[in-house]
A and B are shown apart, each in its own frame.
Chain A
Protein backbone atom coordinates (compact mmCIF):
# COMPACT_ATOMS: atom_id res chain seq x y z
CA UNK A 1 0.00 0.00 0.00
CA UNK A 2 1.42 3.36 -1.02
CA UNK A 3 2.36 5.96 1.59
CA UNK A 4 1.86 9.72 1.32
CA UNK A 5 5.65 10.19 1.29
CA UNK A 6 5.54 9.24 -2.37
CA UNK A 7 4.15 12.71 -2.93
CA UNK A 8 6.31 15.36 -1.28
CA UNK A 9 5.31 18.64 -2.95
CA UNK A 10 8.40 20.34 -1.49
CA UNK A 11 9.58 22.34 -4.47
CA UNK A 12 7.58 25.47 -5.29
CA UNK A 13 7.94 27.12 -8.71
CA UNK A 14 8.05 30.94 -9.15
CA UNK A 15 4.31 30.95 -9.96
CA UNK A 16 3.43 29.75 -6.47
CA UNK A 17 2.78 26.07 -7.19
CA UNK A 18 4.43 23.03 -5.63
CA UNK A 19 5.57 20.70 -8.39
CA UNK A 20 5.78 16.94 -8.30
CA UNK A 21 7.33 15.32 -11.35
CA UNK A 22 5.38 12.57 -13.08
CA UNK A 23 5.51 10.65 -16.34
CA UNK A 24 2.30 10.36 -18.32
CA UNK A 25 1.31 6.75 -18.92
CA UNK A 26 0.69 7.45 -22.61
CA UNK A 27 1.56 4.07 -24.04
CA UNK A 28 2.71 0.56 -23.18
CA UNK A 29 6.34 1.74 -22.87
CA UNK A 30 5.77 4.50 -20.31
CA UNK A 31 6.11 2.43 -17.13
CA UNK A 32 9.12 0.58 -18.52
CA UNK A 33 10.69 3.89 -19.57
CA UNK A 34 10.16 5.30 -16.06
CA UNK A 35 11.67 2.24 -14.40
CA UNK A 36 14.69 2.52 -16.71
CA UNK A 37 15.41 6.17 -15.83
CA UNK A 38 18.80 6.64 -14.18
CA UNK A 39 20.69 9.29 -12.21
CA UNK A 40 24.51 9.04 -12.33
CA UNK A 41 24.25 5.42 -13.43
CA UNK A 42 21.88 4.43 -10.60
CA UNK A 43 18.18 3.60 -10.94
CA UNK A 44 16.20 6.76 -10.31
CA UNK A 45 13.38 4.70 -8.80
CA UNK A 46 15.10 1.70 -7.31
CA UNK A 47 12.12 -0.06 -5.74
CA UNK A 48 9.56 0.68 -8.41
CA UNK A 49 7.04 3.26 -9.55
CA UNK A 50 3.41 4.12 -8.85
CA UNK A 51 0.67 4.78 -11.34
CA UNK A 52 -2.30 7.06 -10.84
CA UNK A 53 -5.45 7.00 -12.94
CA UNK A 54 -6.42 10.42 -14.19
CA UNK A 55 -10.13 9.84 -13.59
CA UNK A 56 -9.29 9.09 -9.94
CA UNK A 57 -7.30 12.33 -9.70
CA UNK A 58 -10.22 14.22 -11.23
CA UNK A 59 -12.57 12.62 -8.71
CA UNK A 60 -10.19 13.60 -5.90
CA UNK A 61 -10.20 17.20 -7.13
CA UNK A 62 -14.01 17.24 -7.10
CA UNK A 63 -14.40 15.47 -3.76
CA UNK A 64 -11.78 17.62 -2.03
CA UNK A 65 -13.09 20.81 -3.67
CA UNK A 66 -9.63 21.83 -4.85
CA UNK A 67 -10.20 22.77 -8.48
CA UNK A 68 -8.33 26.06 -7.98
CA UNK A 69 -5.56 24.49 -5.94
CA UNK A 70 -4.59 21.30 -7.73
CA UNK A 71 -3.92 20.52 -11.37
CA UNK A 72 -1.69 18.53 -13.68
CA UNK A 73 0.10 19.33 -16.89
CA UNK A 74 2.36 17.94 -19.57
CA UNK A 75 5.92 19.22 -19.70
CA UNK A 76 8.17 17.11 -21.94
CA UNK A 77 11.86 17.70 -21.29
CA UNK A 78 14.52 17.69 -24.02
CA UNK A 79 17.57 16.55 -22.04
CA UNK A 80 17.69 13.81 -21.10
CA UNK A 81 14.81 13.29 -23.53
CA UNK A 82 11.55 12.47 -21.80
CA UNK A 83 8.40 12.97 -23.85
CA UNK A 84 6.28 11.51 -21.03
CA UNK A 85 7.28 14.08 -18.42
CA UNK A 86 4.76 16.30 -16.65
CA UNK A 87 3.85 17.66 -13.24
CA UNK A 88 1.26 17.42 -10.53
CA UNK A 89 0.78 20.95 -9.22
CA UNK A 90 -0.49 22.08 -5.83
CA UNK A 91 -0.86 25.69 -4.72
CA UNK A 92 2.00 26.50 -2.36
CA UNK A 93 -0.21 28.53 0.02
CA UNK A 94 -2.54 25.60 0.61
CA UNK A 95 -3.32 24.96 4.33
CA UNK A 96 -1.04 22.26 5.70
CA UNK A 97 -3.89 20.01 6.78
CA UNK A 98 -5.38 20.08 3.27
CA UNK A 99 -1.96 19.42 1.76
CA UNK A 100 -1.60 16.30 3.91
CA UNK A 101 -5.09 15.21 2.98
CA UNK A 102 -4.25 15.46 -0.73
CA UNK A 103 -0.99 13.58 -0.26
CA UNK A 104 -2.88 10.82 1.58
CA UNK A 105 -5.53 10.73 -1.13
CA UNK A 106 -2.92 10.39 -3.88
CA UNK A 107 -1.29 7.55 -1.95
CA UNK A 108 -4.65 5.78 -1.59
CA UNK A 109 -5.37 5.87 -5.33
CA UNK A 110 -1.82 4.87 -6.30
CA UNK A 111 -0.99 1.51 -7.71
CA UNK A 112 2.55 0.36 -7.00
CA UNK A 113 4.62 -1.43 -9.65
CA UNK A 114 7.58 -3.06 -7.96
CA UNK A 115 10.64 -3.38 -10.14
CA UNK A 116 11.03 -7.14 -9.61
CA UNK A 117 7.37 -7.83 -10.41
CA UNK A 118 7.49 -5.70 -13.50
CA UNK A 119 10.67 -7.37 -14.71
CA UNK A 120 9.15 -10.83 -14.29
CA UNK A 121 6.06 -9.84 -16.23
CA UNK A 122 8.14 -8.33 -18.99
CA UNK A 123 10.16 -11.53 -19.33
CA UNK A 124 6.98 -13.63 -19.35
CA UNK A 125 5.43 -11.44 -22.04
CA UNK A 126 8.55 -11.67 -24.15
CA UNK A 127 8.62 -15.47 -23.92
CA UNK A 128 4.91 -15.82 -24.71
CA UNK A 129 5.27 -13.43 -27.62
CA UNK A 130 8.24 -15.45 -29.00
CA UNK A 131 6.35 -18.76 -28.70
CA UNK A 132 3.30 -17.29 -30.46
CA UNK A 133 5.47 -15.96 -33.29
CA UNK A 134 7.14 -19.39 -33.72
CA UNK A 135 3.78 -21.21 -33.68
CA UNK A 136 2.37 -18.81 -36.24
CA UNK A 137 5.38 -19.39 -38.48
CA UNK A 138 5.09 -23.20 -38.19
CA UNK A 139 1.32 -23.12 -38.94
CA UNK A 140 1.93 -20.92 -42.00
CA UNK A 141 4.52 -23.36 -43.33
CA UNK A 142 2.23 -26.33 -42.69
CA UNK A 143 -0.65 -24.64 -44.52
CA UNK A 144 1.65 -23.80 -47.37
CA UNK A 145 2.84 -27.42 -47.53
CA UNK A 146 -0.76 -28.68 -47.52
CA UNK A 147 -1.66 -26.38 -50.41
CA UNK A 148 1.34 -27.65 -52.37
CA UNK A 149 0.31 -31.23 -51.60
CA UNK A 150 -3.24 -30.60 -52.93
CA UNK A 151 -1.95 -28.99 -56.13
CA UNK A 152 0.33 -31.94 -56.81
Chain B
Protein backbone atom coordinates (compact mmCIF):
# COMPACT_ATOMS: atom_id res chain seq x y z
CA UNK B 1 0.00 0.00 0.00
CA UNK B 2 1.36 3.41 -0.91
CA UNK B 3 0.61 5.56 2.12
CA UNK B 4 1.60 8.79 0.50
CA UNK B 5 -0.94 8.74 -2.31
CA UNK B 6 -3.82 11.13 -2.13
CA UNK B 7 -7.00 9.07 -2.00
CA UNK B 8 -9.75 11.51 -2.88
CA UNK B 9 -11.45 9.75 -5.75
CA UNK B 10 -14.47 7.48 -6.06
CA UNK B 11 -17.65 7.95 -4.10
CA UNK B 12 -15.96 9.19 -0.95
CA UNK B 13 -16.63 12.85 -1.60
CA UNK B 14 -16.65 14.01 2.00
CA UNK B 15 -13.09 12.80 2.43
CA UNK B 16 -11.95 15.70 0.23
CA UNK B 17 -12.84 18.15 2.95
CA UNK B 18 -10.33 16.56 5.36
CA UNK B 19 -7.41 18.77 6.16
CA UNK B 20 -5.04 15.88 6.70
CA UNK B 21 -3.13 15.34 3.51
CA UNK B 22 0.26 14.42 4.89
CA UNK B 23 1.72 10.97 5.18
CA UNK B 24 2.05 11.06 8.96
CA UNK B 25 -1.60 11.40 9.95
CA UNK B 26 -2.85 8.53 12.14
CA UNK B 27 -5.92 8.15 9.90
CA UNK B 28 -4.08 7.84 6.58
CA UNK B 29 -4.35 4.06 6.34
CA UNK B 30 -8.08 4.16 6.90
CA UNK B 31 -8.52 6.84 4.24
CA UNK B 32 -6.53 4.70 1.83
CA UNK B 33 -8.82 1.66 2.04
CA UNK B 34 -12.07 3.53 1.38
CA UNK B 35 -12.01 2.91 -2.40
CA UNK B 36 -11.81 -0.82 -1.68
CA UNK B 37 -14.90 -0.88 0.52
CA UNK B 38 -17.90 -2.00 -1.52
CA UNK B 39 -20.78 -1.36 0.83
CA UNK B 40 -21.97 2.25 0.79
CA UNK B 41 -23.37 2.12 4.32
CA UNK B 42 -19.98 1.00 5.62
CA UNK B 43 -18.24 3.76 3.63
CA UNK B 44 -20.59 6.33 5.15
CA UNK B 45 -19.77 5.07 8.64
CA UNK B 46 -16.01 5.18 7.95
CA UNK B 47 -16.28 8.75 6.69
CA UNK B 48 -18.30 9.77 9.72
CA UNK B 49 -15.75 8.13 12.01
CA UNK B 50 -12.81 9.77 10.24
CA UNK B 51 -14.48 13.15 10.32
CA UNK B 52 -15.00 12.85 14.07
CA UNK B 53 -11.38 11.78 14.61
CA UNK B 54 -10.12 14.49 12.26
CA UNK B 55 -12.06 17.16 14.11
CA UNK B 56 -10.56 16.06 17.41
CA UNK B 57 -7.04 15.89 15.98
CA UNK B 58 -7.42 19.36 14.48
CA UNK B 59 -8.04 20.68 17.97
CA UNK B 60 -5.26 18.61 19.49
CA UNK B 61 -2.04 18.75 17.42
CA UNK B 62 -0.29 16.49 19.98
CA UNK B 63 -2.54 13.64 18.85
CA UNK B 64 -0.98 13.68 15.41
CA UNK B 65 1.86 11.61 16.83
CA UNK B 66 -0.35 8.78 18.03
CA UNK B 67 -0.07 5.34 16.40
CA UNK B 68 -1.80 4.84 13.06
CA UNK B 69 -5.34 3.51 12.98
CA UNK B 70 -5.23 0.14 11.27
CA UNK B 71 -8.22 -0.83 9.10
CA UNK B 72 -9.21 -4.31 8.03
CA UNK B 73 -11.86 -5.23 5.47
CA UNK B 74 -13.80 -8.28 6.63
CA UNK B 75 -15.11 -11.04 4.38
CA UNK B 76 -18.71 -9.97 5.05
CA UNK B 77 -18.05 -6.41 3.85
CA UNK B 78 -17.66 -4.92 7.32
CA UNK B 79 -14.59 -2.89 8.27
CA UNK B 80 -12.79 -3.03 11.59
CA UNK B 81 -10.45 -0.27 12.66
CA UNK B 82 -7.97 -0.76 15.50
CA UNK B 83 -6.06 1.93 17.32
CA UNK B 84 -3.42 0.18 19.38
CA UNK B 85 -1.37 1.90 22.09
CA UNK B 86 1.25 0.25 24.31
CA UNK B 87 -1.21 -0.36 27.16
CA UNK B 88 -4.61 -0.36 25.53
CA UNK B 89 -6.47 -0.87 22.30
CA UNK B 90 -9.44 1.00 20.94
CA UNK B 91 -11.42 -0.38 18.05
CA UNK B 92 -14.58 0.02 16.05
CA UNK B 93 -16.30 -2.50 13.84
CA UNK B 94 -18.41 -0.88 11.15
CA UNK B 95 -20.96 -3.40 9.93
CA UNK B 96 -23.15 -3.62 6.85
CA UNK B 97 -26.10 -3.26 9.22
CA UNK B 98 -25.20 -0.13 11.25
CA UNK B 99 -27.22 -1.42 14.20
CA UNK B 100 -24.57 -4.13 14.58
CA UNK B 101 -21.67 -1.67 14.56
CA UNK B 102 -19.82 -1.33 17.82
CA UNK B 103 -16.74 -0.12 19.60
CA UNK B 104 -14.46 -1.59 22.23
CA UNK B 105 -11.73 -0.47 24.56
CA UNK B 106 -9.42 -2.97 26.22
CA UNK B 107 -6.44 -2.29 28.46
CA UNK B 108 -3.66 -4.38 29.94
CA UNK B 109 -2.80 -5.01 33.61
CA UNK B 110 -1.04 -1.64 33.89
CA UNK B 111 -4.32 0.15 33.28
CA UNK B 112 -6.45 -2.27 35.28
CA UNK B 113 -7.51 -4.61 32.46
CA UNK B 114 -10.31 -2.25 31.62
CA UNK B 115 -13.00 -3.65 29.31
CA UNK B 116 -15.71 -1.67 27.58
CA UNK B 117 -17.74 -2.34 24.47
CA UNK B 118 -20.99 -0.97 23.18
CA UNK B 119 -23.13 -0.44 20.16
CA UNK B 120 -21.85 2.46 18.08
CA UNK B 121 -24.79 4.88 18.33
CA UNK B 122 -23.30 8.34 18.61
CA UNK B 123 -20.05 8.60 16.64
CA UNK B 124 -18.99 12.04 17.91
CA UNK B 125 -19.63 11.17 21.54
CA UNK B 126 -17.78 7.87 21.21
CA UNK B 127 -14.76 9.46 19.55
CA UNK B 128 -14.67 12.16 22.25
CA UNK B 129 -14.59 9.40 24.84
CA UNK B 130 -11.71 7.71 22.98
CA UNK B 131 -9.73 10.94 22.85
CA UNK B 132 -10.29 11.59 26.54
CA UNK B 133 -9.07 8.09 27.38
CA UNK B 134 -6.03 8.45 25.11
CA UNK B 135 -5.16 11.81 26.63
CA UNK B 136 -5.33 10.46 30.17
CA UNK B 137 -3.44 7.26 29.52
CA UNK B 138 -0.61 8.09 27.13
Which residues of A approach B to under 8 Å, CB–CB? 1, 3-5, 59-60, 63-64, 96-98, 100-101, 104-105, 108
Q: Is B80 within 8 A of A63, CB to CB?
A: no
Whole-angstrom CA separation of A63 from B102 in the bound complex: 17
User: Mask for B99-134, Cβ within 8 A of A = 1, else 0?
Assistant: 011101010000001010111000000000000000
Known contacts A104-B104, A104-B106, A108-B89; is A64 also within 8 Å of B80 by CB? no
Residues of B within 8 A of A63 (CB): 113, 115
Known contacts A96-B95, A96-B100, A97-B102; is A104 also within 8 Å of B117 by CB? yes
Q: Is A101 within 8 A of B117, CB to CB?
A: yes
Given A97-B100, A98-B117, 14 more pairs with CB closer than 8 A: A3-B72, A5-B74, A63-B113, A96-B95, A96-B97, A100-B80, A100-B104, A104-B80, A104-B91, A104-B104, A104-B117, A105-B104, A108-B89, A108-B106
Known contacts A104-B91, A104-B117; is A5 also within 8 Å of B72 by CB? yes
Q: Is A4 within 8 A of B80, CB to CB?
A: yes
Q: Number of B interface residues at 8 Å Cβ cutoff, please give it.
A: 20
Determine the main DSSP class of A at the interface with B: helix
A18 to chain B, nearest CB (A): 15
Least CB separation from A97: chain B residue: B102
Least CB separation from A100: chain B residue: B93
Known contacts A4-B80, A100-B93, A108-B89; is A59 also within 8 Å of B104 by CB? no
Whole-angstrom CA separation of A29 from B117 in the bound complex: 36
Least CB separation from B108: chain A residue: A108
Residues of B within 8 A of A96 (CB): 95, 97, 100
Residues of A within 8 A of B89 (CB): 1, 104, 108
